[in-house]
Structure 1
Amino acid sequence: MILKGKTAVVFGAGGHLGQHIADRFEAEGASVFRASNGPVDGSTPKSAQVDATDEVAVDAYLDQVAEEQGSIDVVVNMAGVAPASYNHGKPAAEVTHEQFMMPLAVDTASQFITAKSAYRHMSEKGSGVIILNTSTLAKVGSPWSPALTASHAATEGLMRSLAHEYGPAGVRVLGVRSEAMPDSPTIEYTFATMGANMGMGFDEMKGFIEQNKTALKKLPEASDTAAVFAYAASDMASFLAGTMINNSAGHIVD
C-alpha cells in the first residue's frame, strides 16, 4: 500500500496503460480520479470526461478534485492520439505535416497543460508528484516513427525543464520511459505496421525486438509498467526528480 492516503489523478485513464496505472494506484491505496478524452464508464464514481488539451477544462477538473479531496498528490497523463491517425509505422515520406504535428499537439502539449494545472495545487502545499510518459522512441531513433519520436523527445525535454522549475516548491517532476508493451492495442498496431516494412508478422516483429533490441530478451506488459509508475509516485522515490525511469528491458542502456 505504498500510495495509501494519496489522491491521484490519471488523465487518459480510458486507454490500455492508463487503466492499468489507475488500477495499480488504487491497489496501492490511492484515491484515484480517472479522466479520459472519450466517454467514461458512468458506473465508476471517480471518473469524468475531460479533454486534456483544454486548459480551462483541466483547470476546472483539478479544482474540483482538490476541493473534494483537500489536495492532489499525484498527476499522471496518458492522453494521446491513435497511431493510425498520424501514419505511425509508415515511412516518413508518407507522413504529412499535419500528421507529424498531431502527437506534439496532443501528447506533448497535454502533458504541459496537466502539469501546469497540477502545479497550482501542489505548490500551495509544498509537495506533489507529476509523472510524464514516453517510450524508447525518444532515444533510439527508430525508423517509421517520426511524429511520435519527436513528440516523446520533446516530452522528455519538457520534463527536465519543469523538474528544475517546480522542484524548489517541493513538486517532483519525473517520467517513465517504457519499452513496447505487446498486450496494448497501440503496440499491436505498431508491430503489425512496422513489421510490414520488414516482411514480418506481429509475432515475428515481437521476437525480433525481444532478441535483438533488449538486454533481458523480453518485453514488459502494461501491468509491469504500471508498477513502475506506482513506485515513481510513492515516497520511496522521494529523491527522484528530473529523470526518466528507464523501464526498457535494457533496450536503452544509460
Structure 2
Amino acid sequence: MENLKDKVAVVFAASGEIAGAVARSFAQHGAKVYVTARNLDAVKVLAEEIRVKGGMAEAAKVDALNETEIDNFLQQVIGDNGKLDIVFNGIAVDYSEMGGRPPALEATLEQFMAPMKKICGSQFLTSRAAAKYMIASHSEGTILLFTAAASRSKIPNLSAFSAACAAIEAMTRVMAAEWGSENIKVTCICSGALMETKRISGWIEGAAKEYGIPAEQIIAQYKAFDILKTSPTLKQVGETAAFLASETGIAFNSHVVDVDCGKLNIL
C-alpha cells in the first residue's frame, strides 16, 4: 500500500535504528524521504538502501540540536518541493551523557538537565521549525515526536530521563492545541524496549555484568509485564509512524501512541 504517496517527509536523527526504521516505512508507503543526521555517511547508506528497494530518499547532514541547521534544511526542502508533509525526530540519549544512572540524591543539575536539553530540546526545535514551514506553505502536515515508556514508569535512577520523556508527551499536547487551527497534526510515538536494537541489547549486557546475573534473567524480568506473548519490533514502530502520518491516521492527534504490545506496568 502507498498510504503516503506524493508526501514529503523529513526524518531527523536517521542514523539511529528507530528513525531508520521509520524512514524505511515512509518510503515503502510512497513518501519522498529526506534522511538527516550528524553522521552523513550513515544516512547516505540508508538513503541508498531505500533507493535500491524502489523508494525515494535523499541524505543530508543536519544536527537536530542546531536550530540554524534545522531551519536552513527545512527551508531547502520547502524550496525544492513546495511543501512539507511529515516530520519525525528519533533523537535518543545515552546513559553516558547523563553520567550513567545516578540516584536522584547524587545527580547534579547538569546530569539531570542533560536528557531534557538533548531529547526534549531537539524535539522542540524540529517540531517548531516544521510547524513554521508547514504554516507558511499551507502544507497541513503531520509532526511526529518520539519518547520512551520511562515517561510513565517507576524505574529507580532514571529521574532525568523519565522527566524528559514526560515533558515530550506534554509538549505534544500543547503543540497540537496551538497548531491545530492550521490543520497541523502533532502526535507522539512512545516505544517500549525494542530488544533487537543495539541500545537495548547493550543495556541488558551492561546490567548483567554490573549485577552479576544472566542477561536472560533481565530479559525475563522485563517481559514479565508483557500482556501478550510478544514484544514490539522496529518494523512495527516504522509502520505505526507511517499509519499515523497517513490520511487514516488523522484520528490520532495530540495523543501519545504506545508501541509496546501492552505492558502491565505502564499507565
TM-score when normalising by structure 2: 0.87
Corresponding position of 2:34: 33
> Is the Cα–Cα contact under 8 Å of residues 132 and 175 in structure 1 kept in the other structure?
yes
Query: What corresponds to 2:7 in structure 1?
Result: 6
1:82 aligned residue (83, 89, 94): 94
Structure 1 match to 2:195: 182
Between the two proteins, the alignment pairs up a number of residues equal to 253
| Partner residue of 1:147 out of 132, 143, 160 | 160
Amino acid at match of 1:185: K
Distance 2:70 2:261 in 1: 34
1:136 corresponds to 2:137: no
199-208 vs 52-61, greater mean Cα deviation: 199-208
CA contact (8 A) 2:84 2:139 kept: no
The CA distance in 2 between the partners of 1:97 and 1:190, in whole Å, is 24
Q: Which of 67, 85, 100 is residue 55 of structure 1 equivalent to?
A: 67
Structure 2 CA distance, aligned partners of 1:151 and 1:200? 29
- Residue identity opposite 2:147 in structure 1: T
Q: Which moved more, 1:67-76 or 1:82-91?
A: 82-91
Partner of 1:24: 25
SS in 2 for 1:213: coil
- What are the ranges of 5 or more consecutive residues in structure 2 without an aligned counterpart? 48-56
Aligned-residue Cα RMSD (Å) equals 2.0
How far is the alpha carbon of 1:203 from its aligned partner? 2.5
Instruction: After superposing the two structures, state which structure 1 stretch, 195-204 or 60-69, moved more.
Output: 195-204
Secondary structure of the 1:79 match is: coil
Shift of 1:217: 3.4
Matched, 1:98 2:99: no
Is residue 213 from structure 1 mapped to residue 225 from structure 2 by the alignment?
yes
* Superposed displacement of residue 126, structure 1: 5.0
**Conserved? CA contact 1:88–1:148, under 8 Å:** no
Paired letter, 1:147: A
Cα distance in structure 2, aligned partners of 1:106 and 1:219: 27
Would you say the 8 A contact 1:7–1:74 is kept in 2?
Answer: yes
Between the aligned partners of 2:141 and 2:10, the Cα distance in structure 1 is 12
Judged with a 3 Å threshold, the aligned counterparts in structure 2 of structure 1 residues 38 and 81 are, in CA distance, closer, same or farther, namely: farther
The letter of the residue matching 1:217 is K
Unaligned residue ranges in structure 1 (runs of 5+): none
Partner-residue secondary structure (3-state), 2:142: strand
